[in-house]
Amino acid sequence: MYDKYFKIMVTGHRTSRLRGREAEVKNWLREVLINYKEVERGNREILVISGMADGTDILFAEAGLELGCKLLCVFACRKSLSEDEMKIGINAVDIIFNEDKYSRGCFDRRDQRMVDEADLVVGVWDGADSGGTARCLDYARERGKEVLLFPWGGD
């Protein structure tokens, strides 16, 4: 269904773990998208795939829409959308609720679905061995996906 696009998905930390670096992260995400739009110019449109969690996911969705990319929102489970989610989702090509209700592991299963769909996995990761971002990046590497990481650096 999305084969006509070059698909870029994001995995990354929520706002609290970004430690005030939201503007820096969003600028980097914009640069990634600009670069891939140039590479794909005339071939395929860019589809940004976002899990719509607060922090990195929302920054990526916003950056993609600001640059004229198409957006696919993939929620872990069926839920009522917040006002902010609706404002973003109204511009999406599709909104997917990966599962009907919350269950243990539903966020990991959502992430795996996004990785399986993506041509490129973009990660905003602080290097910690635990958490959803680390698991998602491990899964992407196991699947042989191209992974591009935000230059977190020391802090």
Query: What pLDDT digit, counting tens, does each position of 21-38 carry?
Result: 999 999 999 999 999 999
pLDDT at 47: 98
pLDDT, tens digit (0-9, with 9 covering 90-100), for 107-148:
999 999 999 999 999 999 999 998 999 999 999 999 999 999
* Number of CB atoms found within 10 A of residue 105's CB: 10
Question: What letter would DSSP give residue 99?
Answer: S
Of the candidates 155, 85, 96, 99, the one whose C-alpha atom is nearest the C-alpha of residue 126 is: 155
Model confidence pTM above 0.75: yes
With a cut of 60, say whether residue 88 has pLDDT above it: yes
Indicate the CATH number for domain 5-149.
3.40.50.450
Per this entry, what is the length of the chain?
A: 155
Cβ–Cβ under 8 Å, residues 5 and 44 = yes
Residue 43 amino acid letter: N
Cβ–Cβ under 8 Å, residues 46 and 37 = yes
